[in-house]
């Protein structure tokens, strides 16, 4: 069973070819780390993998995916717990604030959160989603040591339970045995 299969994928953004001929297959428990300079197409690769962008060439097949990128997609006025609860309800689950250490912030409005806390919230939504494929765009950005440890633990647990992870990161991220995707 494959959770993500990219075959000969090319990506064109704004008339510019970012990459082509990209092959990547992720099965249960596998992980891949996309690296490359700014503008190399890492975020576009994640959006392609999630089915949000259509490839200029090649095919993309994926299981239900959860994405954490720079867009928080939480209602700024709502308390964090309720804002995450909206998505958890759509996923048919309860929100998981504990995985990223956000229990104390459940009643704090989203607009009051710091950069790192916002990142934790986006990751908490991915953890709670129950999706088999995680797409993480710069997941360690803005996280402190505790946040990064929680992130790595969540990824490890997800892979151990048969999930797959595709991450794009500039920062060191513990992904044992990850396939490397070098762009640009």
Partner 1 sequence: MTRLILRELRLSVAGGAAALPLVFFLLVATLFPFAVGPDGPLLARTGGGALWMAALLAALLPVDRLVEPDRAAGVLDQLALRSIGEETVACAKLAGHWLSFGPPLMLAALPGAALLKLPPETLIRLEIGLLIGTPGLAALTLGVAALTAGLRRGGALAGLLALPLAVPLLIFGAGYLERGNESGALQLLGAVSLLLVAGAPFAAGAAIRAGRD
Among 67, 124, 165, 181, contact with partner 1 (rule: CB under 8 A): 67
Q: How far apart are CA 154 and CA 123, in angstroms?
A: 9
Q: Which long-range contacts (CB under 8 A, 24 or more apart) does 15-19 make?
A: 17/56, 18/44, 18/183, 18/184, 19/45, 19/183, 19/184
**Minimum CB distance to partner 1 smaller for 65 or for 113:** 65
Least Cα distance to 36 among 165, 176, 136, 169 occurs for 169
Which residues sit opposite 32 in a β-bridge?
Answer: 166, 179
Give the x-and-dash track for 69-98 against partner 1 (CB under 8 A).
x-xxxxx-x--------xx-xxx-------
**Minimum CB distance to partner 1 smaller for 37 or for 61:** 61
**Minimum CB distance to partner 1 smaller for 40 or for 53:** 53
Does position 167 interact with partner 1 (CB under 8 A)? The reply is no
Whether the Cβ atoms of residue 134 and residue 65 lie closer than 8 Å to each other: yes
**Minimum CB distance to partner 1 smaller for 131 or for 136:** 131
Residues at the site binding partner 1, with contacts judged by CB under 8 A: 47, 50-54, 64-67, 69, 71-75, 77, 86-87, 89-91, 125, 131
């Amino acid at each position: 069973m494959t959770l993500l299969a990219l075959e000969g994928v090319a990506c064109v953004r704004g008339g510019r070819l970012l990459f082509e001929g990209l092959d990547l297959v992720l099965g249960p428990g596998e992980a891949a780390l996309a690296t490359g300079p700014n503008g190399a197409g890492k975020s576009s690769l994640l959006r392609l993998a999630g089915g949000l962008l259509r490839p200029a060439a090649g095919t993309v097949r994926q299981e239900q995916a959860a994405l954490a990128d720079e867009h928080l997609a939480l209602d700024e006025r709502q308390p964090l717990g309720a804002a995450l609860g909206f998505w958890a309800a759509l996923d048919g689950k309860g929100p998981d604030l504990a995985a990223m250490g956000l229990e104390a912030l459940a009643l704090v409005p989203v607009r009051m959160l710091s950069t790192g806390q916002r990142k934790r919230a986006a990751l908490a939504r991915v953890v709670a989603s129950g999706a088999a494929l995680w797409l993480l765009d710069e997941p360690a950005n803005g996280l402190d040591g505790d946040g990064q440890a929680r992130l790595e633990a969540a990824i490890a647990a997800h892979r151990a339970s048969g999930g797959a992870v595709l991450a794009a990161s500039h920062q060191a991220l513990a992904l044992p045995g990850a396939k490397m995707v070098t762009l640009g």
